[in-house]
Structure 1
Amino acid sequence: MVTGDGAYIKRINRNLILQEIMNNGLISRAELSKITGLNKATISVQVQDLLKKKLIYETQQEHHAIGRRPIMLSINGSVGYVLGIDIDFSSIQFAITNIKGKEVEYIKINPETKDYESIVQLLTKYIQHYMNKFANSPYGLISVIIAVHGTVNNDEVINFVPKLQWKRKNLKADLELDIEIHIVNNANLSAYAEKVYSGQNDNLMSLMLTSGIGAGIIMDDQIHKGFNGYAGEMGHMIISPDGKKCPCGNNGCWELYASESTLLMELSQLLNRPTLTLKEIAELIERRDSTTMEYIKQFIKYLSIGINNMINLYNPETIVINSGILRIYPNTVKEIKSHLKSSISDYREITISKLGIKACVIGACAFAISKFLGISNLRIQDSDQFKEQTSVNNQTPELVNI
């Protein structure tokens, strides 16, 4: 039984009501009372307060039965907006969603610099631009969640980003903006996106195979961060002690054998093609080019070694793999499973993510919505808006020229 002062109980009830309104899309007061166990008087008081704050609105649901149409409650998405930013090695993604989780703007840019101070200036201009753009909505731009492909401690200070060679950077403080900002590991946000938008279970592991390998781990409905916040750096698990040299300082790290950046580089060399795009790899796979198919089979074997280790360490119910290449390669999951022969490995499902390159940045938006509304078990209905979308704007808008 939850105990505490009146304000605390009121806040818990408010968050519970908002959670059910968000997760159901449309819901009546009577249904809210039934699902939450709160009495009708409590529901009525809370709903009136939320209506006054413009966080929800009333609408009448169409029906063909005799009598009054029921009055339904829904989240008022347009009262506020959140910004998710994903800083990768060669690109930065920006996504704006309203507080209902609907995407209203998305761009991907390829900065010419990786210098930390220059990136801080670029981010500052973008964030200020969006703060101004949404200033006229009741809650404006509510908060910014920034994802980095490296270790972030519990104080949200960047410890190390191997590909960018950023060490001990306090990005939140350096931005010097009058808005709530959080710095989060990218893989954790990707895992959160799978849970919120794809309806995955509460014990899952999300593997991002983009510029390196990051693992986001959700255990018992909570993001697993570890002692200092560094859990999930599976890309730097050593699978070959005398293997290739990694920017992190060790040899034989997993991401040197099973990340998409490695695949693109090594397959380009094998095919004697200076550059190789995902589209070109898709064409090679469709033609069943022997060199390409043989290399990807070896790639999957190395990937499976790490997955087997992770299954034994964490016993996840679901493993979600985010890879554009493996999404188009035939029988990916079947081949991975063929390498998982240990009699002690236990999991329920391995699946390929449908959220693609946007997983991290929309996970950032969902994380911001959860914080703002106080919803611990967030589910967003319209997940199809993000699936399989790859169109981007690679031109840096004039407002961020630096």
Structure 2
Amino acid sequence: MVTGDGAYIKKLNRSFILEKIIEHGMISRANLSKITGLNKATISVQVANLLDQDLIYETHQEHNTVGRRPILLGINREAACVLGINIDYKYITYTLSDLLGFPLLSNTYDLETSDYNEILDLVATHITEFQNKCSEYRYGMVSAVIAIHGTVGKDESIFFIPQHQWRNKNLKDDLEKKTGITVHIENNANLTAFAEIVFKHHHIDNLLCISMYTGIGLGIIMDGEVIKGYHGYAGEMGHMIIFPDGKVCKCGNKGCWELYASEASLFEHLSKKLDKTDISYRDISKWLAKKDPIVTKEIEQFIKHISIGLNNIINLYNPETIVLNSEVLHHIPNIIDELQSNLVSTVSQYRELVISDLGKQSTVMGACALGIKNFLEISSLSLDISS
């Protein structure tokens, strides 16, 4: 039983009620009372406050039976919007979403610089432009959540981004001063894992999500919580050393996993072997279908290198679900079987290995979801944007 002062209990009840309204889509006051265990008076007061705040709305349910139509409650998705931003190495992606995670507007811009101040000004300008598009919403654009491909501390400061060579940057404060909007900074792999939980794997409490594009990052969810470590830097598995004295990495070590098992590494190897630039996913799919010997060999090595890292991670975390977020894996026939054939250790235990359906959009989707969760002040969030 939760105890505490009245304001704290009221806040917990509000959070619980909002979570259940989102989870069920539409729900009556009576069913809210049954599901939450809260009495009808408490439900009535909380619902009245949420209606006054325009965070929920009520509507009559259509039915064909005689009698009074029940009144259902739903989230007012148009009360506010949130902005998800993914700052990658060569591009920046923005997605503006409503309070149910449905994208309203998305843009991707090429990034031709790593200069911190130039990128700061660029992102601030774009945030302001998106802010202006939300003026008709009651609460406007309530926050911007930014995905960083590097180490982010628990205070949301950036410790290091290898690709841009940023060290000890306070992007959160710098952007808030320029835009006046609440900004949150999070590691991209954490947001990718959060997106999987929010949009796909709603009832999984132990999930690992491995993002495999320009580098490799690991989002860790254990017992329903994102694991960040002492400083907040947990999950940098791309810099796990799998080949001592191997290739030199920008992190300062040699033989890091992402130099052998990221999409960037695969495309780099194929470009050198085939003397061809601008290789696409479709190219790889075509070459594999034709059983091109060079490409087939490179893919075999790629799978082997992925498997080395997976073995290590499984032994470390004993996960229920492992999600691999990589577009190229969708183009490799029988990839799950190929990977699992290399995971033969009797001590490595997990339940399922899957390829993400969310793809590269997962990062900004996770950013938007975190913005929604923070704004509504709820402890858990499940969304469905498939319809």
Q: TM-score, normalised by structure 2?
A: 0.97
Query: Could you tell me which of 181, 197, 218 is aligned with 1:215?
Result: 218
Q: CA deviation at 1:71?
A: 1.1
* Counterpart check, 1:181 vs 2:220: no
* Counterpart check, 1:309 vs 2:340: no
Q: Following superposition of structure 1 onto structure 2, how do residues 378-393 of structure 1 map, counting pairs within 5 Å?
A: 378-382=381-385, 384=386
SS in 2 for 1:79: coil
Q: CA deviation at 1:279?
A: 2.6
Q: Following superposition of structure 1 onto structure 2, how do residues 235-274 of structure 1 map, counting pairs within 5 Å?
A: 235-274=238-277
Q: Which amino acid aligns with 1:279?
A: R
Query: Could you tell me which of 270, 278, 281 is aligned with 1:278?
Result: 281
| Deviation per residue, 1:196-251 (Å, 9 max, x gap) | 00124111000000000000000111100000000000000000011000010000
- For 2:25 and 2:290, how far apart are their aligned partners in 1? 44
- For 1:140 and 1:274, how far apart are their aligned partners in 2? 44
* Aligned match of 1:357: 360
* Aligned match of 1:84: 84
RMSD after superposition: 1.1
Q: CA deviation at 1:102?
A: 1.1
* Counterpart check, 1:60 vs 2:70: no
| Deviation per residue, 1:285-313 (Å, 9 max, x gap) | 33332322221121011101101101111
| Deviation per residue, 1:242-264 (Å, 9 max, x gap) | 10000100000000000000001
Q: Which amino acid aligns with 1:269?
A: K
Q: CA deviation at 1:100?
A: 1.5
SS in 1 for 2:264: helix
- For 2:87 and 2:233, how far apart are their aligned partners in 1? 18
Q: CA deviation at 1:282?
A: 2.5
Q: Following superposition of structure 1 onto structure 2, how do residues 113-192 of structure 1 map, counting pairs within 5 Å?
A: 113-175=113-175, 176=177, 177-192=179-194
2:284 and 2:331 in contact (8 A); partners too? no
Q: CA deviation at 1:90?
A: 0.7
* Aligned match of 1:99: 99
* Aligned match of 2:44: 44
Query: Could you tell me which of 338, 341, 359 is aligned with 2:341?
Result: 338
Between 127-136 and 18-27, the greater mean CA deviation after superposition? 127-136
- For 2:283 and 2:121, how far apart are their aligned partners in 1? 35
Q: Which amino acid aligns with 2:156?
A: E
- For 1:286 and 1:139, how far apart are their aligned partners in 2? 52
| Deviation per residue, 1:340-389 (Å, 9 max, x gap) | 1111111000000000000011100000111111221200022x37xxxx
* Aligned match of 1:8: 8
* Aligned match of 2:325: 322
- For 1:328 and 1:376, how far apart are their aligned partners in 2? 37
SS in 2 for 1:12: helix
Between 332-341 and 285-294, the greater mean CA deviation after superposition? 285-294
* Aligned match of 1:193: 195
2:149 and 2:161 in contact (8 A); partners too? yes
| Deviation per residue, 1:80-105 (Å, 9 max, x gap) | 00000001111111011111111101
Q: Which amino acid aligns with 2:220?
A: I
2:19 and 2:380 in contact (8 A); partners too? yes
- For 2:292 and 2:142, how far apart are their aligned partners in 1? 49
Q: Which amino acid aligns with 2:306?
A: L
Query: Could you tell me which of 339, 349, 374 is aligned with 2:377?
Result: 374
Query: Could you tell me which of 228, 231, 235 is aligned with 2:231?
Result: 228
- For 1:287 and 1:122, how far apart are their aligned partners in 2? 44
- For 1:117 and 1:306, how far apart are their aligned partners in 2? 36
Aligned length: 384
Percent of residue pairs bearing the same amino acid type? 52
SS in 2 for 1:84: strand
* Aligned match of 2:111: 111
Q: TM-score, normalised by structure 1?
A: 0.94
Q: CA deviation at 1:150?
A: 0.3
* Aligned match of 1:388: none
- For 2:291 and 2:104, how far apart are their aligned partners in 1? 39
SS in 2 for 1:248: coil
Between 105-114 and 83-92, the greater mean CA deviation after superposition? 105-114
2:150 and 2:162 in contact (8 A); partners too? yes
1:320 and 1:353 in contact (8 A); partners too? yes
SS in 2 for 1:378: coil
Structure 2 CA distance for partners of 1:155 and 1:307, relative to 1, 3 Å: same
2:96 and 2:106 in contact (8 A); partners too? yes
What stretches of structure 1 of length at least 5 have no aligned partner?
386-402
What stretches of structure 2 of length at least 5 have no aligned partner?
none
SS in 2 for 1:303: helix
1:25 and 1:381 in contact (8 A); partners too? no
* Aligned match of 1:389: none
